[in-house]
Amino acid sequence: MEFLKNKYTDMYYKIISRALAEHRSKKVNDGKQTHHIIPRCMGGSDDTHNLVLLTYKEHRVCHRLLINMTQGEYKYKMMYAYMLFNKNYDLSGAPSPQIYCTDQSYKLMVETRKRKGSYKTGKDNIFSSPEIIKQVKQRMKESNPMKRPEQRERMRQQNNNPHCKPILVDGLPFPSLGAASRHFDKSPYKLRKYHTISEG
């Protein structure tokens, strides 16, 4: 499996190349974290040529980029790995969040991730039933606040769109420039050019 050829892959390798060029070494509590250049789930090994030391920020950015560099099942695995930067899913006990893809971490994410989630769709969503939809439509017709006369008048007075204000074209009143354009079968530009227009 290879990475997609896109700008995210270019950005990813720029970060990796910069880190490798600095010949970084790990010290106690220095905040640097070991990153697999080719993720293990994609066949990457634990050999030194596939490992690089990154700062926490670089590590997080790289894992965010990996989501856009992959597709299919690997994309979802990269999404899981990125979520492990969230302290709620990090079970390592380390001072800063780590990428430890343990079975417990995956289970915790699957149980709490939003897209499994709280919002029901299809037949499980009671608001998708025909009866509920009919009721909502009826309520909107009967008591839609946007259609009340006082609200329409308020909107008309506060309207700053010149295309939606009442106008006079050659002495004829129209509710808007668009209505006048349709009446004369001309574009607003030609309407202004060949007719006398004033505010209604």
Residue 128 pLDDT exceeds 90: no
Type of residue at 76: Y
Structure tokens at 150: 């006082």
| Torsion angle, alpha carbons of 105, 108, 113, 119, to 10 | 170
Structure tokens at 114: 């939003």
Q: 14-57 pLDDT, tens per residue?
A: 999 999 999 998 887 677 888 999 998 888 888 999 999 988 88
Distance CA 36, CA 13 (A): 12
Distance CA 200, CA 184 (A): 17
User: pTM score > 0.75 for this model?
Assistant: no
Q: What is the pLDDT of residue 94?
A: 58
Tokens 């997080």, residue located: 60
Local confidence band at 99 (pLDDT 50, 70, 90 cut-offs): low
Distance CA 76, CA 101 (A): 13
Count of residues in the chain: 200
Distance CA 105, CA 88 (A): 9
Q: 158-198 pLDDT, tens per residue?
A: 766 666 778 888 889 988 888 888 889 988 888 888 888 88
CA 184 and chain centroid, separation: 43
CB 62 within 8 A of CB 12: yes
Closest alpha carbon to 171 in 135, 150, 199: 199
Please indicate whether residue 130 or residue 184 has the higher confidence score (pLDDT).
Answer: 184
Structure tokens at 23: 């010949």
Closest alpha carbon to 170 in 193, 194, 195: 195
DSSP states of 96-122 as a string? S------HHHHHHHHHH-TTTSS---G
